[in-house]
Chains A and B, each alone.
Chain A
Amino acid sequence: MGKFMQRVRGLYVMTGVLLVWVTSVSQAADSPYEAAAEIDRLLNSRVLDSTDSPVGLADDATFLRRAFLDVVGEPPTADDVLAFYLDDTSDKRRVLVNALLADEAFGKNWARYWRDVILYRRTEDRAVAYSRRILVDYLAKEFNSNQPWSKIATAFMTATGDVREKGETALIMAQSGKPEDVTAEVSRIFLGIQIQCAQCHDHPTDSWNRQQFHQLAAFFPRIAIRPDRSGEQPTFNVVVNDSPFQYRRRRQNNNRYRGTPEHHMPDLDDPSSKGVLMQPVFFVTGSKLPLGTRDAKRRGKLAEWITAPTNPWFSKAYVNRIWSELVGEGFYEPIDDLGPDRECSSPETLDYLAKGFTENGYNIKWLYRTIMATDAYQRKSLSRRDYDQPPFLANCPQRLRGDQLYDSLVSALDLDIRTPQRGRGQGSYRGRRDPRALFNESFGYDPSDPRVDIGGSIQQALMIMNGPFIAQGINARRSKGLGALLRANPDDKDVLFELYLKVLARGPTATEKGTCLAYIRRVGNRNEAFEDITWALINSTEFIHRN
């Protein structure tokens, strides 16, 4: 029985309980479903002009696979598909989304997403070996217990301690604790503002200037990462230096193991000089702290100001990102480049949604529930629009992230995966034996990059076309996977149906059935023909996308 069928069945038993819970949420100012209706109204009335009309809603099978991949990062099993198909209650999509959000896999999936957001922009490669796992563990826990986004963001900005023990240190570790790089990432990830463009020169088309970037960096001068070899395995600590003494700044190898009391903006005409002393000022609100403020207060106050409801960019950055991941296109693109000088495709809608997110206490699951209840989310998928077409007429096929594709392959082929032991003392190459990590090296991508820029590579194609584990996985003589289907179903039509369910989470269309049955006849060897069909399905464009 499918893991998720249990999930869904368990849920039916709990429907009564859930209804009570959902009702109590409805009483709040913005129930997700009322908010969703308002969003569709806003999009329909203001964004879409009369000549273009949105496409219809996706069918159940498409919605099911989409919701599974989006929320828990795994495809539904054949049993899940059948259970969902047979369910004739009118609110089954909502019930499904709630069930998926309550599953532990939700936290894990989105923890991996944020791992990629943070680590793909690393300037310190050792962050991969030291922070990757603990970062996922930390975030999964926070997401599953539905901690407010403001709390999680604050933890990243104010982190200290051992990078192998505390996942929230990952952002600082990934940037070697260097104030300018940490500042750039804090602004990009939590505000959606690429203020680091102003690091070296004022940008003619941007409101923020170079001084404001360095005033923001002035919240982070006292931190550094320092190697620590005292324990069983080498690690780094995010350390704080509140001592008023200025230590010798840089040794010949450019390592920075100790923070400095204050930040200086480099003099571009004289890079070797000390530069201009900077006071910590938050550029959005102008809030400031005096020089000499201790680190805990500096970073604590900055986090407070950044996550305050009066700062619109904090909620907009998060909402824009999650909307884009779910609906296929952001209000702003690239999704981490917002700001007063950027174009927003539907400002009223984003404002409304960001306001709702803020008023609901940065409740992460509220946001998923709301977006996934909109028609904008539930529509059929079409290839990305041309830029002269209005936005949000359809959902958009999204290339699966490495983790999603890995789990899809494991599930489609019933692959046996041995999880490596977490040994110690293996250094930074330990992680490389993890098959998921190896797969991600080939298929992973930076989720902040515009999806139109993310193409497939030859090496990816070769891996699924010719990889030895694929050849083994599709072998008709295996006891699992295709082999099991062939033995259990004497009729080729049944095998074909089961195979489509297993690989694409839907039954074959009439055309596909015709094509495949003709192929089987032509090949004249049942095992061989079905191996070929399985090969074609896992190499298909549909398989590597969520629709």
Chain B
Amino acid sequence: MIISLHHQSEVAINRQSVLGRRDFLRAVSLTGAAAGLVSWSDMMALQAAELRKQGKACILLWLGGAPSQFETFDPKPKHANGGETKVIETSVPGIQIADNLPHTAQVMDKICLIRSMNSREGAHARASYLMHTGYLPTASVKYPTLGANVTQQLADPDFDLPSFVRIGNARGAADGGLLGVEFNPFVTNNAARPPENTTITTTERRYQRRLGLLGRLDKEYASKGAQQEVENQGKLYDKAAKMVLSPSMSAFDIQRESKTTRTAYGESPFSAGCLLARRLVEFGVTFVEVNSGGWDTHFDNVERTSKLCSSIDQPYAALLRDLDRRGMLENTMVVLMGEFGRTPKINARGGRDHYPRAFSAALAGGGVQGGQVIGKTSRDGASITDRPVGVSDLLQTICHGLGVDPDHENMSSIGRPIKIVDGGEVVREVFA
């Protein structure tokens, strides 16, 4: 029952993408390509993007360990809780952020800051799970992570590459859950190298020869009564082989970017991750997560957060600029967040502890109206004084931007319907 429903939805998505492709070819041939304005590589990228429903994509930049809002997006220079962190002006008059983020400040016109995020979950793994799935972990239902839900709704199942890629790993980030392993993220740990096990160990000719032999031998097993198993395995191997041998695998090779571009993103592993994310989306990947870790600053918060900021600031700004320059920002939502915030009071070790009651997140692209701040915290940063935004509200908002129906229901293994997002409301001002 569950299976057949799933297959139907796959067919439906297929149909949409087929129609989309036709529309695209007509549109392009009439305008851009005919006028000679679209280069071949732009064509590739455009076509790949069109294969996704509405061309929408999402990049989630995850700051694992929970970044201090006081040292990033919600500084409090006039209060003791703010510590020694200074503020800087941004490209948008009236919006100030911590001086740890000078590059980000320059692209504030593309960013919508939410300073009134809040939840009740202050344990890393559970809070991370909550932010990724919208639910707290339970033993009975394995909730899909956002990337899995979005991919299931938007991605073309016949796409060469995995539609959901996670760069680096994060604790509690969840996976395909009840949607099944085919919606698990494709994980690559090092953005500067090809993903594990995607480099063939023989010549391509020999590889094909082996696959042919495998197919012939599997037939014998099928004839003994295991047709279904052989058929499923065959599909999987076709997909894996298609991916490994696909020219699109060059999407994973950031060395193909110009030196100027690579320099713009900076030197950190997160820089490589952001650049890879942009390449992947350009090639048609629907959802990319880039993980940064170590934000759990229980001691020496100021010094450590400043250092951590310098590893993400330049690539984050470069990513938004690059997407914008390539005309991809409109269809690509970029979300920057961690699992909660940090305490207003600085502890005896110069650190800040866990604080889910008020923290910040940053949205850009995908129709988000940049250059604005939503929500406000009190002078001491301890409470929210305006427009609180809950986790479900944020996920509703992301779904809205991507054109995903948050009320879409999937069935758990014991037949319980699970909504993509349960409760919450779209924060409309984000798109104003």
Given known pairs A337-B414, A544-B233, the reply for A454 and B240 (CB within 8 Å) is no
Q: B370 CB to closest chain A CB, in angstroms?
A: 33
Looking at B125, B181, B232, B241, the one whose CB has the most chain A CB atoms below 10 A away is B181
B200 and A541: CB pair below 8 A? no
Contact pattern, B 195-207, Cβ under 8 Å of A = 1, otherwise 0: 0111111000010
Closest residue of A by beta carbon distance from B120: A254
Closest residue of B by beta carbon distance from A511: B220
Given known pairs A123-B126, A541-B221, the reply for A452 and B140 (CB within 8 Å) is no
Contacts of B193 in A (CB 8 A): none
The complex places the Cα of A459 from the Cα of B226 at a distance, in Å, of: 23
The complex places the Cα of A399 from the Cα of B236 at a distance, in Å, of: 14
Given known pairs A455-B181, A540-B221, the reply for A125 and B416 (CB within 8 Å) is no
The verdict on B79 contacting chain A, using a C-beta distance below 8 Å, is no
The complex places the Cα of A437 from the Cα of B243 at a distance, in Å, of: 26
Which residues between 371 and 399 of chain A lie within 8 Å of chain B, taking CB atoms? 380-384, 394, 397, 399
Looking at B139, B172, B240, the one whose CB has the most chain A CB atoms below 10 A away is B139
Contacts of B126 in A (CB 8 A): 123, 254
Given known pairs A454-B181, A532-B210, the reply for A194 and B140 (CB within 8 Å) is yes
The verdict on A456 contacting chain B, using a C-beta distance below 8 Å, is yes
Given known pairs A453-B3, A541-B233, the reply for A197 and B140 (CB within 8 Å) is yes
The verdict on B34 contacting chain A, using a C-beta distance below 8 Å, is no
Q: A177 CB to closest chain B CB, in angstroms?
A: 13
**Complex interface: stretch among B104-112, B350-358, B423-431:** B350-358
The verdict on A225 contacting chain B, using a C-beta distance below 8 Å, is no
The verdict on B229 contacting chain A, using a C-beta distance below 8 Å, is yes
A123 and B137: CB pair below 8 A? yes
The verdict on B184 contacting chain A, using a C-beta distance below 8 Å, is yes
Contacts of B236 in A (CB 8 A): 455-458, 460-461
B214 and A540: CB pair below 8 A? yes
The complex places the Cα of A188 from the Cα of B414 at a distance, in Å, of: 12
Which residues between 303 and 346 of chain A lie within 8 Å of chain B, taking CB atoms? 334, 337
B139 and A175: CB pair below 8 A? yes
Closest residue of A by beta carbon distance from B179: A453
B226 and A545: CB pair below 8 A? yes
The verdict on B405 contacting chain A, using a C-beta distance below 8 Å, is no
The complex places the Cα of A115 from the Cα of B338 at a distance, in Å, of: 31
The complex places the Cα of A446 from the Cα of B229 at a distance, in Å, of: 19
Contacts of B224 in A (CB 8 A): 380-381, 547
The complex places the Cα of A203 from the Cα of B120 at a distance, in Å, of: 28
A459 and B137: CB pair below 8 A? no
The complex places the Cα of A523 from the Cα of B206 at a distance, in Å, of: 10
A381 and B226: CB pair below 8 A? yes
Contacts of B229 in A (CB 8 A): 383, 397, 399, 541, 545
B217 and A536: CB pair below 8 A? yes
The complex places the Cα of A381 from the Cα of B214 at a distance, in Å, of: 21
B218 and A540: CB pair below 8 A? yes
The verdict on B266 contacting chain A, using a C-beta distance below 8 Å, is no
Contacts of A188 in B (CB 8 A): 139-140
The complex places the Cα of A170 from the Cα of B356 at a distance, in Å, of: 29
Looking at A459, A519, A535, A545, the one whose CB has the most chain B CB atoms below 10 A away is A459
A515 and B180: CB pair below 8 A? no
Given known pairs A456-B232, A541-B230, the reply for A380 and B225 (CB within 8 Å) is yes
The complex places the Cα of A532 from the Cα of B240 at a distance, in Å, of: 18
The verdict on A70 contacting chain B, using a C-beta distance below 8 Å, is no
The verdict on B182 contacting chain A, using a C-beta distance below 8 Å, is yes
**Complex interface: stretch among A12-20, A354-362, A465-473:** A465-473
The complex places the Cα of A184 from the Cα of B138 at a distance, in Å, of: 9
The complex places the Cα of A185 from the Cα of B210 at a distance, in Å, of: 46
The verdict on B122 contacting chain A, using a C-beta distance below 8 Å, is yes
The verdict on A24 contacting chain B, using a C-beta distance below 8 Å, is no
Contacts of A175 in B (CB 8 A): 139
Q: A546 CB to closest chain B CB, in angstroms?
A: 11
Which residues between 352 and 385 of chain B lie within 8 Å of chain A, taking CB atoms? 354-357
B414 and A194: CB pair below 8 A? yes
B210 and A458: CB pair below 8 A? no
Which of A125, A197, A446, A462 contacts B240 (CB under 8 A)? A462
A252 and B355: CB pair below 8 A? yes
B414 and A334: CB pair below 8 A? yes
A466 and B221: CB pair below 8 A? no
Which residues between 142 and 194 of chain B lie within 8 Å of chain A, taking CB atoms? 142, 162, 171-172, 180-182, 184, 186-187
A463 and B197: CB pair below 8 A? yes
Contacts of A511 in B (CB 8 A): 220
Given known pairs A197-B414, A450-B413, the reply for A456 and B181 (CB within 8 Å) is yes
B139 and A537: CB pair below 8 A? no
B233 and A456: CB pair below 8 A? yes
Q: B343 CB to closest chain A CB, in angstroms?
A: 9
The verdict on A47 contacting chain B, using a C-beta distance below 8 Å, is no
B226 and A453: CB pair below 8 A? no
Q: B239 CB to closest chain A CB, in angstroms?
A: 6
Which residues between 104 and 131 of chain A lie within 8 Å of chain B, taking CB atoms? 121-126
Which of A383, A519, A535 contacts B227 (CB under 8 A)? A383
Which of A253, A334, A452, A457 contacts B3 (CB under 8 A)? A452
A461 and B237: CB pair below 8 A? yes
Q: A516 CB to closest chain B CB, in angstroms?
A: 8
Given known pairs A181-B138, A384-B228, the reply for A465 and B237 (CB within 8 Å) is yes
Contacts of A285 in B (CB 8 A): none
The verdict on A512 contacting chain B, using a C-beta distance below 8 Å, is yes
Which residues between 1 and 48 of chain B lie within 8 Å of chain A, taking CB atoms? 2-3
Closest residue of A by beta carbon distance from B225: A382
B413 and A334: CB pair below 8 A? yes
B413 and A453: CB pair below 8 A? yes
The verdict on B216 contacting chain A, using a C-beta distance below 8 Å, is yes
The verdict on A489 contacting chain B, using a C-beta distance below 8 Å, is no
Which residues between 164 and 215 of chain A lie within 8 Å of chain B, taking CB atoms? 174-175, 181, 184-185, 188, 194, 196-197
A466 and B139: CB pair below 8 A? no
The complex places the Cα of A382 from the Cα of B216 at a distance, in Å, of: 20
Contacts of A124 in B (CB 8 A): 125
The complex places the Cα of A29 from the Cα of B35 at a distance, in Å, of: 89
Which of A194, A382, A533 contacts B213 (CB under 8 A)? A533
The verdict on A89 contacting chain B, using a C-beta distance below 8 Å, is no
The verdict on B123 contacting chain A, using a C-beta distance below 8 Å, is yes
A466 and B217: CB pair below 8 A? no
Q: A484 CB to closest chain B CB, in angstroms?
A: 21
The complex places the Cα of A383 from the Cα of B239 at a distance, in Å, of: 22
Which residues between 236 and 273 of chain B lie within 8 Å of chain A, taking CB atoms? 236-237, 239-241, 243-244
Which residues between 498 and 542 of chain A lie within 8 Å of chain B, taking CB atoms? 509, 511-512, 515-516, 519, 523, 528, 532-533, 535-537, 539-542
A542 and B140: CB pair below 8 A? no
Contacts of A509 in B (CB 8 A): 220
Q: B235 CB to closest chain A CB, in angstroms?
A: 9
Q: B228 CB to closest chain A CB, in angstroms?
A: 4
Closest residue of A by beta carbon distance from B353: A253
B413 and A455: CB pair below 8 A? no
Contacts of A252 in B (CB 8 A): 122, 354-357
The verdict on A53 contacting chain B, using a C-beta distance below 8 Å, is no
The verdict on A34 contacting chain B, using a C-beta distance below 8 Å, is no
A542 and B226: CB pair below 8 A? yes
Which of B197, B233, B239 contacts A466 (CB under 8 A)? B197
Contacts of B186 in A (CB 8 A): 458-459
The verdict on B289 contacting chain A, using a C-beta distance below 8 Å, is no
Contact pattern, A 430-461, Cβ under 8 Å of B = 1, otherwise 0: 00000000000000011001101111111111
Q: A218 CB to closest chain B CB, in angstroms?
A: 18
Contacts of B142 in A (CB 8 A): 446
The verdict on A255 contacting chain B, using a C-beta distance below 8 Å, is yes
A466 and B138: CB pair below 8 A? no
7 nearest CB pairs, A to B:
A253-B122, A383-B228, A461-B240, A121-B139, A462-B197, A123-B137, A382-B225
Q: List 19 interface pairs A-B (beta carbons < 8 Å), by A numbering.
A: A122-B139, A253-B123, A253-B356, A254-B122, A334-B413, A383-B226, A446-B142, A453-B3, A455-B180, A456-B236, A457-B181, A459-B186, A465-B197, A466-B198, A466-B199, A509-B220, A523-B209, A528-B206, A541-B229
